[in-house]
Structure 1
């Protein structure tokens, strides 16, 4: 998906303005957010693990994490940059 299409979809779904997030290579242990997050990968890659299932997201992919959903994150060898809406 491209950035403009993604931003339009966030607006239609009621997400406030999106922000760009950059993470260096590494991991974030299991955690959860009090907000729903939907993001477009702009650079690098991100692995998200929910329970026993892990999924890889690369440039152009969109990930969605519901509010209060326990998950862990692993950032690719060059880190990751994504555009994220939170509500």
Structure 2
């Protein structure tokens, strides 16, 4: 998915303006949760998100979606990751 299509989908889904987030390479975040729903488009690098027993890899053009208070862990690839995220 490209940025324009992603931004349009956020607007349709009622998300406020998206922000660009960059994370350093090879960092791992243990299981945690956020009090908001998040929908993000990977624009550079890659990351892995584990929810329960399932881990998925997200690369440039992929979108991930986490529900509010959904427990998950994150691992960033060897080049780090940059993603455009909407939160509500």
TM-score, structure 1 normalization: 0.99
CA distance in 1, matches of 2:50, 2:8: 27
**Residue 2 of structure 2 corresponds to which residue in structure 1?**
2
Partner secondary structure for residue 9 of structure 1: helix
CA RMSD of aligned residues (A): 0.4
**Residue 47 of structure 1 corresponds to which residue in structure 2?**
48
- The residue correspondences of 1:1-87 to structure 2 (distance < 5 A) are 1-25=1-25, 26-87=27-88
Aligned residue-pair number: 87
Shift of 1:69: 0.4
CA distance in 1, matches of 2:68, 2:23: 20
Shift of 1:74: 0.2
Q: Unpaired runs of 5+ in structure 1?
A: none
Q: CA offsets, 1:24-46, max 9 Å, x none?
A: 01111100000000000000001
Q: Unpaired runs of 5+ in structure 2?
A: none
| Superposed structure 1 runs of 4+ greater than 6 Å apart | none
